[in-house]
Structure 1
Amino acid sequence: MNFLLVSRSQNLQQILGQLTRVLYLEMKWNRGSWCWCLCCLDNLGNNFESARIALASVGPIPILANEAGDSLSGKPVNDETIAAAAKLARNAASPITDMRGTIEQRKHLIEVLTDRMLKQAVERAKG
Protein backbone atom coordinates (compact mmCIF):
# COMPACT_ATOMS: atom_id res chain seq x y z
CA MET A 1 0.00 0.00 0.00
CA ASN A 2 1.56 3.29 -1.11
CA PHE A 3 0.27 6.64 0.08
CA LEU A 4 0.76 9.99 -1.61
CA LEU A 5 0.51 13.17 0.44
CA VAL A 6 -0.40 16.33 -1.42
CA SER A 7 0.07 19.69 0.33
CA ARG A 8 -1.75 22.86 -0.66
CA SER A 9 -0.89 24.74 2.51
CA GLN A 10 0.97 27.59 0.83
CA ASN A 11 -2.09 28.70 -1.19
CA LEU A 12 -4.36 28.37 1.85
CA GLN A 13 -1.88 30.31 3.98
CA GLN A 14 -2.05 33.21 1.53
CA ILE A 15 -5.86 33.23 1.79
CA LEU A 16 -6.09 32.90 5.58
CA GLY A 17 -3.16 35.09 6.53
CA GLN A 18 -0.22 34.57 8.83
CA LEU A 19 -2.11 34.29 12.14
CA THR A 20 -3.29 30.78 11.34
CA ARG A 21 -1.22 27.70 10.60
CA VAL A 22 -2.99 25.64 7.99
CA LEU A 23 -2.43 22.44 6.08
CA TYR A 24 -4.37 20.51 3.48
CA LEU A 25 -3.51 16.84 3.00
CA GLU A 26 -4.90 14.21 0.68
CA MET A 27 -4.15 10.54 1.23
CA LYS A 28 -4.41 8.41 -1.90
CA TRP A 29 -4.44 4.70 -2.37
CA ASN A 30 -4.17 3.58 -5.99
CA ARG A 31 -6.50 5.73 -8.09
CA GLY A 32 -9.05 6.67 -5.42
CA SER A 33 -8.59 9.07 -2.56
CA TRP A 34 -9.51 7.86 0.90
CA CYS A 35 -9.12 10.82 3.17
CA TRP A 36 -8.77 14.58 2.96
CA CYS A 37 -7.95 16.88 5.83
CA LEU A 38 -7.88 20.66 6.18
CA CYS A 39 -6.39 21.59 9.53
CA CYS A 40 -6.09 25.11 11.00
CA LEU A 41 -4.03 25.67 14.15
CA ASP A 42 -3.56 28.79 16.23
CA ASN A 43 -0.37 30.77 15.61
CA LEU A 44 1.55 28.85 18.28
CA GLY A 45 0.33 25.48 17.03
CA ASN A 46 -1.03 24.50 20.46
CA ASN A 47 -4.77 24.41 19.66
CA PHE A 48 -6.98 23.52 16.72
CA GLU A 49 -8.87 26.51 15.35
CA SER A 50 -10.85 24.28 13.01
CA ALA A 51 -10.58 21.12 10.97
CA ARG A 52 -12.48 19.49 8.14
CA ILE A 53 -12.22 15.79 7.42
CA ALA A 54 -13.60 14.24 4.24
CA LEU A 55 -13.77 10.52 3.46
CA ALA A 56 -14.16 8.69 0.16
CA SER A 57 -14.56 5.04 -0.84
CA VAL A 58 -16.42 4.34 2.41
CA GLY A 59 -20.01 4.81 1.29
CA PRO A 60 -22.12 5.52 -1.77
CA ILE A 61 -20.70 9.07 -2.01
CA PRO A 62 -17.77 10.93 -0.40
CA ILE A 63 -18.74 12.41 2.96
CA LEU A 64 -17.67 15.28 5.15
CA ALA A 65 -17.21 13.96 8.69
CA ASN A 66 -18.60 17.13 10.29
CA GLU A 67 -18.78 15.83 13.84
CA ALA A 68 -15.16 14.67 13.68
CA GLY A 69 -13.88 17.99 12.35
CA ASP A 70 -16.03 20.07 14.69
CA SER A 71 -14.85 18.08 17.70
CA LEU A 72 -11.34 19.49 17.20
CA SER A 73 -12.29 23.19 17.27
CA GLY A 74 -10.76 24.94 20.26
CA LYS A 75 -9.21 21.73 21.59
CA PRO A 76 -5.52 21.24 22.40
CA VAL A 77 -3.34 19.50 19.84
CA ASN A 78 -2.59 16.11 21.42
CA ASP A 79 -2.92 12.39 20.73
CA GLU A 80 -6.13 12.01 22.77
CA THR A 81 -7.96 14.78 20.91
CA ILE A 82 -6.86 13.36 17.55
CA ALA A 83 -7.84 9.79 18.51
CA ALA A 84 -11.31 10.96 19.57
CA ALA A 85 -11.80 12.73 16.22
CA ALA A 86 -10.64 9.61 14.35
CA LYS A 87 -13.26 7.53 16.19
CA LEU A 88 -15.95 10.03 15.22
CA ALA A 89 -14.81 9.83 11.57
CA ARG A 90 -15.07 6.04 11.79
CA ASN A 91 -18.67 6.33 12.98
CA ALA A 92 -19.59 8.81 10.24
CA ALA A 93 -19.04 6.35 7.39
CA SER A 94 -21.39 3.68 6.05
CA PRO A 95 -19.11 1.31 4.13
CA ILE A 96 -20.25 -1.94 2.58
CA THR A 97 -18.62 -5.35 2.43
CA ASP A 98 -17.33 -6.23 -1.02
CA MET A 99 -14.42 -8.10 -2.58
CA ARG A 100 -11.97 -5.41 -1.39
CA GLY A 101 -12.83 -5.62 2.30
CA THR A 102 -15.39 -6.00 5.04
CA ILE A 103 -17.28 -3.25 6.81
CA GLU A 104 -15.10 -3.68 9.90
CA GLN A 105 -11.86 -3.54 7.87
CA ARG A 106 -12.95 -0.34 6.17
CA LYS A 107 -14.06 1.29 9.44
CA HIS A 108 -10.72 0.36 11.01
CA LEU A 109 -8.90 1.87 8.02
CA ILE A 110 -10.92 5.10 8.34
CA GLU A 111 -9.90 5.47 11.97
CA VAL A 112 -6.23 4.66 11.35
CA LEU A 113 -5.89 6.91 8.28
CA THR A 114 -7.73 9.81 9.90
CA ASP A 115 -5.50 9.59 12.98
CA ARG A 116 -2.37 9.37 10.83
CA MET A 117 -3.44 12.22 8.58
CA LEU A 118 -4.30 14.58 11.44
CA LYS A 119 -0.94 13.91 13.09
CA GLN A 120 0.89 14.57 9.82
CA ALA A 121 -1.16 17.73 9.26
CA VAL A 122 -0.24 19.02 12.72
CA GLU A 123 3.47 18.25 12.26
CA ARG A 124 3.60 19.95 8.88
CA ALA A 125 1.56 22.94 10.03
CA LYS A 126 3.95 23.47 12.94
CA GLY A 127 6.76 23.57 10.40
Structure 2
Amino acid sequence: MLAFSGCSHGCNPEEEEELTRMRYAHPWWKEKVINSEEKRKEGLCPLTLEETALTLTALGIDRNVQIYIAAGEIYGGDRRMKALTDAFPNVVRKETILESSDLDFCRNHSSQMAALDYQ
Protein backbone atom coordinates (compact mmCIF):
# COMPACT_ATOMS: atom_id res chain seq x y z
CA MET A 1 0.00 0.00 0.00
CA LEU A 2 1.26 3.37 -1.04
CA ALA A 3 0.37 4.99 2.29
CA PHE A 4 2.62 2.64 4.21
CA SER A 5 5.54 2.71 1.77
CA GLY A 6 5.85 6.47 2.09
CA CYS A 7 6.47 6.75 -1.64
CA SER A 8 4.39 9.75 -2.65
CA HIS A 9 6.40 10.99 -5.65
CA GLY A 10 3.96 12.23 -8.28
CA CYS A 11 1.14 12.77 -5.79
CA ASN A 12 -0.43 16.17 -5.40
CA PRO A 13 -0.41 17.81 -1.92
CA GLU A 14 -3.95 16.62 -1.14
CA GLU A 15 -3.02 13.02 -1.97
CA GLU A 16 0.14 13.24 0.14
CA GLU A 17 -1.95 14.48 3.08
CA GLU A 18 -4.46 11.67 2.58
CA LEU A 19 -1.68 9.07 2.56
CA THR A 20 -0.31 10.51 5.81
CA ARG A 21 -3.78 10.38 7.39
CA MET A 22 -4.06 6.72 6.34
CA ARG A 23 -0.81 5.89 8.17
CA TYR A 24 -1.98 7.63 11.35
CA ALA A 25 -5.35 5.85 11.15
CA HIS A 26 -3.62 2.49 11.67
CA PRO A 27 -2.16 2.39 15.19
CA TRP A 28 -0.30 -0.85 14.44
CA TRP A 29 1.73 0.87 11.72
CA LYS A 30 4.89 2.04 13.50
CA GLU A 31 6.46 4.39 10.95
CA LYS A 32 4.22 7.46 10.79
CA VAL A 33 6.61 10.16 9.55
CA ILE A 34 8.20 9.12 6.28
CA ASN A 35 10.50 11.25 4.15
CA SER A 36 9.36 10.30 0.66
CA GLU A 37 12.27 12.00 -1.11
CA GLU A 38 14.80 10.19 1.09
CA LYS A 39 13.11 6.82 0.45
CA ARG A 40 13.19 7.54 -3.27
CA LYS A 41 16.89 8.49 -3.22
CA GLU A 42 17.61 5.22 -1.41
CA GLY A 43 15.89 3.29 -4.21
CA LEU A 44 13.06 2.14 -1.97
CA CYS A 45 10.21 3.41 -4.16
CA PRO A 46 8.86 1.87 -7.35
CA LEU A 47 8.85 3.80 -10.59
CA THR A 48 5.86 6.05 -11.10
CA LEU A 49 3.56 5.16 -13.97
CA GLU A 50 5.02 8.07 -15.95
CA GLU A 51 8.54 6.75 -15.36
CA THR A 52 7.41 3.26 -16.31
CA ALA A 53 6.01 4.53 -19.61
CA LEU A 54 9.22 6.47 -20.34
CA THR A 55 11.39 3.46 -19.51
CA LEU A 56 9.40 1.04 -21.65
CA THR A 57 9.43 3.55 -24.52
CA ALA A 58 13.20 4.09 -24.17
CA LEU A 59 13.71 0.33 -24.26
CA GLY A 60 11.85 0.19 -27.56
CA ILE A 61 8.94 -1.87 -26.25
CA ASP A 62 6.13 -2.05 -28.82
CA ARG A 63 3.32 0.26 -27.69
CA ASN A 64 0.79 -2.48 -28.47
CA VAL A 65 2.26 -4.92 -25.95
CA GLN A 66 -0.25 -6.06 -23.32
CA ILE A 67 0.60 -4.74 -19.86
CA TYR A 68 -1.03 -6.56 -16.97
CA ILE A 69 -1.62 -4.60 -13.76
CA ALA A 70 -1.35 -7.12 -10.93
CA ALA A 71 -2.09 -4.64 -8.15
CA GLY A 72 -5.45 -3.61 -6.83
CA GLU A 73 -6.74 -0.18 -7.62
CA ILE A 74 -4.04 2.30 -8.56
CA TYR A 75 -3.98 5.22 -6.12
CA GLY A 76 -5.09 8.30 -8.04
CA GLY A 77 -7.04 6.17 -10.53
CA ASP A 78 -7.28 7.20 -14.16
CA ARG A 79 -5.36 10.45 -13.57
CA ARG A 80 -2.29 8.47 -12.49
CA MET A 81 -2.78 5.77 -15.14
CA LYS A 82 -3.08 8.27 -18.01
CA ALA A 83 0.65 8.52 -18.78
CA LEU A 84 0.94 4.75 -19.04
CA THR A 85 -2.28 4.16 -20.98
CA ASP A 86 -1.49 7.02 -23.38
CA ALA A 87 1.85 5.41 -24.22
CA PHE A 88 0.68 1.78 -23.97
CA PRO A 89 -3.08 1.55 -24.57
CA ASN A 90 -3.32 -2.22 -24.05
CA VAL A 91 -3.32 -2.14 -20.23
CA VAL A 92 -5.42 -4.85 -18.60
CA ARG A 93 -6.20 -6.29 -15.18
CA LYS A 94 -8.11 -9.37 -14.14
CA GLU A 95 -11.34 -7.37 -13.87
CA THR A 96 -11.05 -6.30 -17.52
CA ILE A 97 -10.10 -9.65 -19.06
CA LEU A 98 -12.42 -11.92 -17.06
CA GLU A 99 -16.18 -11.92 -16.78
CA SER A 100 -17.47 -10.78 -13.40
CA SER A 101 -18.95 -14.25 -12.88
CA ASP A 102 -15.47 -15.76 -13.35
CA LEU A 103 -14.31 -13.87 -10.27
CA ASP A 104 -17.29 -14.78 -8.05
CA PHE A 105 -15.59 -17.82 -6.50
CA CYS A 106 -12.92 -15.68 -4.86
CA ARG A 107 -14.52 -12.23 -4.65
CA ASN A 108 -14.61 -12.18 -0.82
CA HIS A 109 -11.19 -13.78 -0.42
CA SER A 110 -8.42 -11.24 -1.01
CA SER A 111 -5.64 -13.84 -0.92
CA GLN A 112 -7.36 -15.84 -3.67
CA MET A 113 -7.89 -12.70 -5.73
CA ALA A 114 -4.19 -11.87 -5.32
CA ALA A 115 -3.26 -15.42 -6.32
CA LEU A 116 -4.98 -14.88 -9.69
CA ASP A 117 -2.47 -12.14 -10.41
CA TYR A 118 0.45 -14.51 -10.00
CA GLN A 119 -0.83 -17.52 -11.94
Structure of higher CA gyration radius: 2
With the length of structure 1 as denominator, give the TM-score of the two structures.
Answer: 0.24
The structure with the greater share of residues assigned to strand is 1
With the length of structure 2 as denominator, give the TM-score of the two structures.
Answer: 0.25
The structure with the greater share of residues assigned to helix is 2
